[in-house]
Amino acid sequence: MGTDVYMSWDGMTKEEKDRQYTGYAIDAGKFGYLRSAVYMRFERDILHSLFPPRYSLGYAKKYNFATGEAQVIHTIKQYLTLKDNYAMNKEDRAMWAKSLVDFFKLGYSLQMKGKNPKVAVL
């Protein structure tokens, strides 16, 4: 088991929702999907720190992407300097980090457009 994070928003189309089904891709943040496999312990811990247990109840809850930005930037900087992440090589860590940034960019953009982005952690 891993951790899957899905974003939804007001007016989300079927095509937008379908893009989130990536076969567990680690680079789909731009579509509103984040993934950490069970062996990705650092990544899993990051997702759980950004999205506390109240987002893990099986349904989407509103998330304030504007206030989460500083935490994401700080978290990404720490993550990319890890030396002992044996689960993924440097290139894959960079891809995963970019996906996390893309996820937050999407959420912030949707929030600024008044589309009420929500997050569910499964």
Length of the chain counted residue by residue: 122
Q: pLDDT digits over 6-49, tens only?
A: 999 999 999 999 999 998 899 999 999 999 988 888 888 889 88
The H or E element that residue 61 is part of is strand 61-62
Q: DSSP letters along 31-60, please?
A: GTEEEE-TT-HHHHHHHHHHS-GGG-SSS-
> Whole-angstrom Cα distance, residue 50 to residue 45?
9
Q: pLDDT digits over 72-93, tens only?
A: 888 888 887 776 656 678 888 8
Q: Which domain holds residue 56?
A: 3-121
The structure's pTM equals 0.90
Domain count, the chain: 1
